[in-house]
Amino acid sequence: AQKITQTQPGMFVQEKEAVTLDCTYDTSDPSYGLFWYKQPSSGEMIFLIYQGSYDQQNATEGRYSLNFQKARKSANLVISASQLGDSAMYFCAMRGAVSGGYQKVTFGTGTKLQVIP
């Protein structure tokens, strides 16, 4: 079984500061991938960043970076220089091995980030 835990229901950050959104995971699969998605108030799901379990370096995409600590089973999202437009819900997700005919993707319950001017 695979599980994603996001322990921060909501967070505040001052504009232009960095913020870390926590994500821990549990899986018995040797190969897996970790994703972060952003969901603004308009409702759409926007892919942000991906980290494979065998990737040697932490993934980065512009102001987003994924702090991958395999031994701790954590995949925290770091947003540098926060902007007002970063206010949204953020979901951590994991894909694991094929189970029941598909490669299961499990989502966390999300963290609501609010950027303060």
Contact footprint for another protein (CB under 8 A): 4, 33, 35, 37, 43-47, 50, 91, 93, 95-96, 98, 100-105, 107-110
Question: Which value, in Å, is the radius of gyration of the alpha carbons in the chain?
Answer: 14
**Of 98 and 116, CB closest to another protein:** 98
**Of 37 and 82, CB closest to another protein:** 37
**Of 18 and 98, CB closest to another protein:** 98
What minimum distance in Å lies between the beta carbon of 53 and another protein? Answer: 12
Compute the distance between CA of residue 112 and CA of residue 39 in angstroms, rounded to an integer: 9
What minimum distance in Å lies between the beta carbon of 7 and another protein? Answer: 13
What minimum distance in Å lies between the beta carbon of 117 and another protein? Answer: 27
What one-character-per-residue DSSP string does the chain give?
A: --EEE---SEEEEETTS-EEE--EEE---SS-EEEEEEE-TT---EEEEEEETT-SS--EETTEEEEEETTTTEEEEEE-S--GGG-EEEEEEEEEEEETTEEEEEE---EEEEEE-
What minimum distance in Å lies between the beta carbon of 93 and another protein? Answer: 8
**Of 9 and 117, CB closest to another protein:** 9
